[in-house]
Structure 1
Amino acid sequence: MKNFLLPDPGEGLVEAEIVTWRVKPGDQVKINDILVEVETSKSLVELPSPFEGTIKELLVPEGQLIDVGTPIVIIDDGEEPDEEAPVANLVGSGPKKSETRRRPRKGAAAAEAGPAEAHDQFVAAFQTAAPVSRRADEQAPLRPGQAEPSGSPLPDPGPAPAEPAPTGGAVLAKPPVRKLAKDLGLDLTTITGTGEGGVITRADVEQAATTTSPEPVEGQATPVLGTSTSSVHELFEERIPIKGVRKATAAAVTSSAFTAPHVTEWLTCDVTATMELLDRLKQRRDLGEVRWTPLVVVAKAVLLALGRTPELHSSWDEANREIVLRRGVNLGIAAATPRGLLVPNLKGAHADDLVTLAHRIDKLVKAAKEGKTQPADTSGGTFTITNIGVFGIDGGTPILNPGEAGILCMGAIQRRPWVVGTGAEERIEPRWVTTLAVSFDHRLVDGEQGSRFLADVARVLTDPAQALLF
């Protein structure tokens, strides 16, 4: 009998939420079969089984937040019950020994947490993409026998609906969609998916929520506006627990806003040449499958400008009273996801050429939106770019990521009237224009340095050939 404890996700995280159980009591599991999906403040993680046997009991319900080291499931492997089970580990840290909420990183000593073979198999589950079995009934489905007819024949069935609702089996929906449906109190088996292959999308869940009338709770009065009894005028209140990404984001921005003295500068610039460059790059078939977006060119411009103004990716060491200047750049890209705002970063982005940078940004953003960002991807950033232009917003005053000296905000790129030429050649033309904003820590960056950095970024976007001079 084995007790499986919530593994240590690393990166100083000490708790996680049980999102979705992939097994139930009685299921047969093998080593590396997925048991459960958990959510930390940085990512969604699937936990594989380090044991083979039968699921005896699920100890923690879905939606509950628990500490690392908490028993979550009992697996009957045919052996005697464990007196004290080790804490499994995702990244090489040791078992949790105290109630301390933040603890120092540990090294490879995690190998002592359990038998070497089981540990290697556990770690291998995160390094391979091999298909795994789920449940016993999926591995060897039962075959019905020949039934003997009896009694009077049944009447002819009526016409079947054009799109029958699912009546059983697996529901096709991604984890964020499942969580949304759970928060809204909706049963996914009653929702017809419109995605590819019948997958239930976020839009399907939201549509179902708007067409489902809430049932009144007995003995509970519902406050209303006015005297009308129509459900249109009812006032409903929903409470959402502060946890996961939202909890981490709130703590980070609060700490940053009240620790680092923020200064924000703005600059509106003509980026017509950048848009024309992107059009030409999209025609280059020899570059392969590259997703060319304005963010790619902005990121390259930022990296070039940081090379001339390293203060913008420095850090403040309060303990030693030192300013730390960094040689490389781990470029953070803010991504809006169903779980909240994530800022994964590209390690060593300063060394990437434009094509490599485009591939890495596309991969980074897709992983974030699919909930596959790992904790290590969100730590160690040195400068961040946030793109609010995708929402049609002209500009904003971004808050620094804790530990970083600067962040650039991209506004929407729009066609606007713009004065071009000089003297007798001066005229007004429609051009592609955007507004950039940079916030920086005034302890580390003076106004002159911040202004020079922003001007350098705008210069490259206005005329990409200027990059040759950096």
Structure 2
Amino acid sequence: MTAEFRLPDLGEGLPEAEIVQWLVAVGDIVTLNQPIAEVETAKAIVELPSPFAGTVRTLHAAPGEVIAVGELLISIDVPAVAGAMEGVVDDDDDEVIPPNLVGYGATPRASGRPQRRVRSLASVSASDTDVLVAAPHDVLPPAPAEVRHERPRSTPPVRALAKQLGVDLSLIEATGVTGVIGREDVERYAAQHATPAEVPASAPTTDSRRETRTPIRGVRKHTAEAMVRSAFTAPHVTCFLEIDVTETSRLLADLRADRRLEGHRIGVLAVVAKAACLALRHEPSLNSRWDAGAAEIVQHHYVNLGIAAATERGLIVPNVTDAERLTLVELADAIGELAATARTGRTPLSALTGGTFSITNFGVFGVDAGTPILNPGEAGILGVGAVRSRPWEHRGEIVLRDVMTLSLSFDHRLVDGEQGSRFLAAVGDVLREPGRAMLLG
């Protein structure tokens, strides 16, 4: 029998995903929970595990294609033999519910009705069902053909080309076996239906040397939407503090020279992160969120510290869970691991949600300061500028010192100027005199 797997909800109601690459091919034998494809959501690249064991029959989407949650992804021929897979059979309609998949949470149940005991496909014959359907996490079945109003299946670059050529995709029939409208289909249709009046000889042509058009999707699209939502929801206030961080620079140099710490890359960002965690203990309003639905201010008694990371796909903010519990070395290791994972595009969705306060590092790009935008749902974000050697007053003399600018943006619904200023000053005190961490702790 044939088992069908539709794209599941990969978290936070993300409506679609792009096929990055298939990890299997038609004819391959797959096992339960074997990774079959890499897909990119608006937040990260995710590996999809197979909900069935059997032989790959059909791949219903090509790499680069964006498909919606609930659309058919892959068909697998499942042998009706013992041990192929197990499922829960509903008493009323013999629906076979697939087993729980790695990374998808609890197995979905149908409306809370009692289920029959688990049994293997050996007891489900072709007369029971010809097609098994896997669609984890409340994916609704597609509407009947006569009431569906879906846009034609195509990729974003193809849709952009159709718009450029003035072609209505609903009039084009896909020629490929996947049913996806390709660039050749659009160009062929445009050529067949163009007239001299429609395309004059003097019509301008697209010159790729003069401009490049990139579809807005994936991480870039999600980041843009989140930043707009944040900027127009939370009233932002930003304050700045210029500080002497010479003693922090000396501390970092000593740590780098300590052989016991070989293999640990402890930089200024880790020290700032530690200072922020300490300061949040004394200014908890910066570690809270505004719950408009419940008309409540929610104060967190833990710190899930977001670290903004620039990647080829756009900006993401993975977070270190319970960062306030970590030592400086542990925090540095965690930040390094987040950055390395983000660069490969393999950041898990769990690391991209639940943040309570964030840090963004302008200094790594040689920038002194900026006005960071809040990560949606958080009360504060701390910007870290570049460390520069500058003339500075120190103990009554003008000498060269290492100087840094910190910038703090906060939600003025949750944080008053006094609280924001005290938090920034507390972070600055630790960086100016790292020994003060003993007092704050």
Contact 1:10 1:92 in 2 (8 A): no
Give the deviation of 1:450 after TM superposition.
0.6
Find the counterpart in structure 2 of residue 440 from structure 1.
410
Contact 1:5 1:85 in 2 (8 A): no
Query: What are the equivalent positions in structure 2 for 1:338-357 lying under 5 Å apart?
Result: 338-357=312-331
Contact 1:6 1:67 in 2 (8 A): yes
Call closer, same or farther: CA 1:260–1:59 in 2, change over 3 Å.
same
Contact 1:56 1:76 in 2 (8 A): yes
Q: Which amino acid aligns with 1:252?
A: A
Total equivalences in the alignment: 348
Task: Pick one of 328, 331, 334 that aligns with 1:360.
Answer: 334
Call closer, same or farther: CA 1:223–1:9 in 2, change over 3 Å.
closer
d(CA) in 2 for partners of 1:237 and 1:459?
47
Find the counterpart in structure 1 of residue 248 from structure 2.
274
**TM-score, L = length of structure 2:** 0.72
Give the deviation of 1:252 after TM superposition.
1.1
The gaps in structure 2 that reach 5 residues or longer are 82-86, 88-93, 122-157, 159-189, 192-198
Partner deviation per Cα, 1:118-139 (whole Å, 9 max, x = no partner): 9xxxxxxxxxxxxxxxxxxxxx
The alignment status of 1:386 with 2:360, answered yes or no, reads yes
Find the counterpart in structure 2 of residue 453 from structure 1.
423
The alignment status of 1:18 with 2:19, answered yes or no, reads yes
Find the counterpart in structure 2 of residue 334 from structure 1.
308
Contact 1:8 1:95 in 2 (8 A): no
Partner deviation per Cα, 1:89-140 (whole Å, 9 max, x = no partner): 532155599xxxxxxxx9xx9xx8x96889xxxxxxxxxxxxxxxxxxxxxx
Call closer, same or farther: CA 1:346–1:86 in 2, change over 3 Å.
same
Query: What are the equivalent positions in structure 2 for 1:217-256 lying under 5 Å apart?
Result: 221-222=204-205, 234-238=209-213, 240-256=214-230
Q: Which amino acid aligns with 1:236?
A: E
- Point out the more displaced range, 10-19 or 85-94: 85-94
The alignment status of 1:287 with 2:261, answered yes or no, reads yes
Call closer, same or farther: CA 1:265–1:35 in 2, change over 3 Å.
same
Give the deviation of 1:32 after TM superposition.
3.9
Contact 1:337 1:368 in 2 (8 A): yes
Call closer, same or farther: CA 1:279–1:95 in 2, change over 3 Å.
same
Find the counterpart in structure 2 of residue 147 from structure 1.
none
Give the CA RMSD over aligned residues.
Answer: 3.1
d(CA) in 1 for partners of 2:120 and 2:334?
34
Find the counterpart in structure 1 of residue 67 from structure 2.
66
Q: Which amino acid aligns with 1:52?
A: A
Find the counterpart in structure 2 of residue 262 from structure 1.
236
Give the deviation of 1:455 after TM superposition.
0.8
d(CA) in 1 for partners of 2:8 and 2:270?
37
The alignment status of 1:309 with 2:283, answered yes or no, reads yes
Give the SS at the match of 1:25.
coil
d(CA) in 2 for partners of 1:456 and 1:404?
19
d(CA) in 1 for partners of 2:205 and 2:97?
49
d(CA) in 1 for partners of 2:290 and 2:386?
32
Partner deviation per Cα, 1:56-77 (whole Å, 9 max, x = no partner): 1111222222233322111123
Give the deviation of 1:245 after TM superposition.
1.1
Give the SS at the match of 2:52.
coil
Q: Which amino acid aligns with 2:9?
A: D
Find the counterpart in structure 1 of residue 439 from structure 2.
469
Contact 1:68 1:96 in 2 (8 A): no
The alignment status of 1:371 with 2:345, answered yes or no, reads yes
Find the counterpart in structure 2 of residue 185 from structure 1.
none
The alignment status of 1:38 with 2:39, answered yes or no, reads yes
Give the deviation of 1:293 after TM superposition.
0.9
d(CA) in 2 for partners of 1:389 and 1:441?
23
Q: Which has the higher strand share?
A: 2
d(CA) in 2 for partners of 1:327 and 1:117?
46
d(CA) in 1 for partners of 2:26 and 2:51?
17
d(CA) in 1 for partners of 2:302 and 2:206?
57
Contact 1:16 1:38 in 2 (8 A): yes
Give the deviation of 1:349 after TM superposition.
0.8
Give the SS at the match of 1:434.
strand
Find the counterpart in structure 2 of residue 5 from structure 1.
6
Find the counterpart in structure 1 of residue 194 from structure 2.
none
d(CA) in 1 for partners of 2:258 and 2:288?
37
d(CA) in 1 for partners of 2:215 and 2:360?
26
Give the deviation of 1:10 after TM superposition.
2.9
d(CA) in 2 for partners of 1:252 and 1:72?
28
Partner deviation per Cα, 1:135-171 (whole Å, 9 max, x = no partner): xxxxxxxxxxxxxxxxxxxxxxxxxxxxxxxxxxxxx
Find the counterpart in structure 1 of residue 56 from structure 2.
55
d(CA) in 2 for partners of 1:457 and 1:116?
59
Give the SS at the match of 2:227.
helix
- Seq. identity, %: 51
Give the SS at the match of 2:341.
helix
Give the deviation of 1:398 after TM superposition.
0.5
Q: Which amino acid aligns with 1:450?
A: G
Partner deviation per Cα, 1:229-249 (whole Å, 9 max, x = no partner): xx9xx52342x2222211211
The gaps in structure 1 that reach 5 residues or longer are 98-105, 119-181, 183-216, 225-230
**TM-score, L = length of structure 1:** 0.68
d(CA) in 2 for partners of 1:51 and 1:382?
38
d(CA) in 2 for partners of 1:339 and 1:115?
43
Query: What are the equivalent positions in structure 2 for 1:83-94 lying under 5 Å apart?
Result: 86=97, 89=101, 90-93=103-106
